Chains A and B, each alone.
Chain A
Amino acid sequence: MSRTLQAPVTVAFDYTRSTGPVIGRFLTGLRDATVVGGRLADGRVAVPPPEYDPVSHQAVTEFVDLPDTGTVTSWTWVSEPVAGQPFDRPFAYALVTVDGADTGWLHAVDVASAAEIETGMKVRARWAEQRTGSVNDLVFVPDDGGDSGGATGEPGNEDVDRIITPVSLDYSYAASPEESAFFRGLAEGRILGQRCPQCKKVYVPPRGACPTDGVPTSEEVELAQVGTVTTFCVVNVPFLGQKIKPPYVSAYVLLDGADIALQHLILDIPAEEVRMGMRVEAVWRPRDEWGTSIENISHFAPADEPDADFDSYKHHL
């Protein structure tokens, strides 16, 4: 058995950003198949235009429409592309100085091998048919003097004032040894915590170190499946990925024998009747649905017991 439990995890979300006047102008240009540069304080033209001159820090306010041809000033070969890059086969990234500009623009060049690109090579844009106002509206290709296919199509009516950048990152997520013990316990229908060797507090899920003493928790403790609601909130807001229809209750449950509360759902009772001090017990899913997951416990439900005294949980709020 490996020391820790590991699983693939994908963290994905879309960033929506407003562009502001400078980047907005540049991206509007790309949507309309035009390269827009910005004039720096020393008279040079930069593509992409920065909002502020990197040396003088003055705002960039003068713009120049440029052709969609240029020269490679540096390049590299991407032998092992990663997800999200402009090509899923080997390609080149390059710094391209657009004709009429003075600074290199980082972009992709579509050539079949590293032998087909060199510093000083002339390139031109190959525009996408559907353009959205993004740097992905084009890639560069060797300039054979042909048509770039960009100037066709109507310019859009509205300026680009926002972009959406999807982000998706893949991880191999490892639990700590202490968390792994907790999840393996759940696969056996047990709730396991660990006791700090110094202050004797019992943490569930167990932690890599006791936050009071900074030492690893070590001694394993099996906890009761009954506990006390210390605090809770009623979820009324719908959100992406929600599995239960609102309103419902998410609560901290202090299991008997534990010194820290565990967060879980309180169901089988109307949301407005949940209260601090309420005694609850774990409700497990059918055993054939179990994995090494907190979802093995479906939720907590009212236990047939009187409410706990405030003094019994006041130190855990």
Chain B
Amino acid sequence: MRETAVVGFAQRQMKDFDGSPSMAELLVPILAECYEQTGWAKKDIGFWCSGSSDYLAGRSFSFVSAIDAIGVLPPVNESHVEMDAAWALYEAWLKIQTGEVDTALVFGFGKASAGVLRRTLALQLDPYTMTPLWPDTVSLAALQARAGLDAGLWDEAALAEVVNRSLTDAEKNEYAVRAGGSSVEELLARPMFADPLRKHDCAPVTDGAAAIVLAAGDRAREANQRPAWISGIAHSSDGLHLGTRDLTSSGSAERAVAAAGGTAGVQVAELHAPFSHQELVLRSALGLGNDVRISPSGGALAANPMFSAGAIRIGEAAKQIWDGSADKVLGHATSGPALQQNLVCVMEGRN
């Protein structure tokens, strides 16, 4: 494996973005931050990869107008995934492994507020047996939450504890859309939204964008004093029928973390859990003990920009390495209904 590190990261998370879903305007300052962090310019980037969705934008080839923000004339080496930018990061990591390029800039963007997000996402389901029923993402997550309650794996107070910790941590995150802890009792007194989930158990609809810079070997050392070296990265998917999965566990997260080398020694894990109970599923599937600090950014319950929130988890985890707060961290991204697809990125600092 070529040694490859995360060396730059910039983000925006906002309640709604008052502008075009192509988001070129939002991406320009984020890319500028990445250039400033690394000391690089456009010409130093060997590969570009983005994550977004036309269904979110409501127009075809929406990513084509967004890539104006990176300056694509003369032509650049560029690709796109219809997934969270964490998967674009995986593609970029592979590209670096091939030896074809030494550096890559990955970005994701999405304006979820333009439509009804929980409805739009019904289009990622099995089109024969699921989409015609238009099951919304919140309902599907609630079926998963209920399965765990019935199995005695968690109770409502455990969900409220996740929310309380997330929103308390989010007070220190300038990009959080939702922040402010209260108490488990106060949270449990609020009304149900999708029984057994309350609105605070579900990530807020969030617009936003993020960018991450990857580099190999000496290029990484040139860009960052303490690069977040990727020691393992992998992703996996479960089948598309909810009924054939055990919703209370996550086989794909288990397979991904095993392929990424496990979590021994991980001090901080940024988990992409858009619903409170999913953090509990992931902690178990990833084998994270009680001594691991979970999502100090506040996580997805504080802000969940579609197509960047997973990449943001990797960026937030990398920051813990850069500033010396941790020596080994994990960034996680999910996609699909009820944690169907999971990606794990383990990073280490070296002294």
Contact = CB atoms under 8 A, between A and B. Distances in A.
B is a partner of A: yes
A262 B239 CA distance: 46
A208 B18 contact: no
30 contacts: A19-B128, A46-B243, A46-B244, A50-B244, A54-B241, A74-B247, A76-B139, A76-B196, A77-B194, A78-B136, A79-B192, A79-B194, A84-B119, A85-B135, A93-B143, A94-B143, A95-B242, A103-B243, A108-B133, A114-B192, A135-B128, A169-B119, A172-B113, A176-B22, A208-B28, A209-B24, A209-B27, A209-B68, A214-B70, A214-B71
A35 to B, nearest CB: 12
A175 interface: yes
Contacts of B24: 176, 207-209
Contacts of B142: 76-77, 93
A208 B119 contact: no
A176 B146 contact: no
Interface string B235-253: 0001111111101000000
A269 interface: no
Nearest to A163: B128
Nearest to B197: A76
Interface string A120-159: 0000000000000011100000000000000000000000
Interface in A176-222: 176-179, 207-216
Interface residues of B, number: 67
B21 interface: yes
A75 B194 contact: no
Interface of B: 18-25, 27-28, 31, 42, 55, 58-59, 65, 67-73, 111, 113-116, 118-120, 122-123, 127-136, 139-140, 142-147, 150, 192-197, 238-245, 247
A214 B20 contact: no
A114 B195 contact: yes
A2 interface: yes
Contact of B20 (A78, A163, A175): A175
Contact of A106 (B23, B59, B71, B130): B130
A126 B146 CA distance: 25
A27 interface: yes
Contacts of A134: 132
Nearest to B27: A209
B143 A75 contact: yes
B19 A176 contact: yes
3 nearest A-B residue pairs (beta carbon):
A208-B24, A214-B71, A54-B239
B65 A207 contact: yes
Contact of A209 (B28, B130, B196): B28
A170 B115 contact: yes
A169 B244 CA distance: 29
Contact of B132 (A9, A46, A78, A135): A135
B159 to A, nearest CB: 14
Nearest to B29: A216
B20 A93 contact: no
Contacts of A76: 139, 142-143, 145-146, 194-197
Contact of A136 (B21, B114, B133): B133
Given A175-B20, A209-B69, A214-B68, A93 B25 contact: no
Contacts of B238: 54
A82 interface: yes
A303 interface: no
Contacts of B59: 11
Instruction: Please indicate which of the listed interface residues B114, B129, B243 has the most CB atoms of chain A within 10 Å of its own CB.
Output: B243
Contact of A211 (B28, B73, B130, B239): B73
A95 B133 CA distance: 13
Instruction: Please indicate which of the listed interface residues B72, B195, B240 has the most CB atoms of chain A within 10 Å of its own CB.
Output: B195
A11 B241 contact: no
A95 B22 CA distance: 38
A215 to B, nearest CB: 7
A176 B239 contact: no
B114 A173 contact: yes
Given A82-B118, A171-B115, A207-B68, A103 B25 contact: no
Interface of A: 2-4, 9, 11, 15, 17, 19, 23, 26-27, 40, 46-48, 50, 54, 73-80, 82-86, 93-95, 97, 103-108, 114, 119, 134-136, 163, 165, 167, 169-179, 207-216
A5 to B, nearest CB: 10
B68 A95 contact: no
A104 B146 CA distance: 13
B25 A74 contact: no
A2 B18 contact: yes
Given A46-B241, A54-B238, A213-B71, A169 B58 contact: yes
B194 A48 contact: no
Contacts of A86: 133
A64 to B, nearest CB: 15
A47 B243 contact: yes
A165 B114 contact: no
A84 B71 CA distance: 40
Given A54-B238, A165-B127, A95 B134 contact: no
A130 to B, nearest CB: 15
B68 A78 contact: no
A281 to B, nearest CB: 28
Contacts of A207: 24, 65, 68
A104 B118 CA distance: 22
A169 B243 contact: no
A178 B68 CA distance: 13
B193 A82 contact: no
B192 to A, nearest CB: 7
A47 B70 CA distance: 47
Contacts of B20: 4, 174-176, 179, 208
Given A76-B196, A78-B194, A163-B132, 16 more contacts: A54-B241, A54-B245, A76-B145, A76-B194, A77-B194, A77-B195, A85-B133, A93-B143, A95-B143, A103-B241, A104-B243, A107-B133, A169-B55, A176-B20, A209-B28, A210-B68
A120 to B, nearest CB: 9
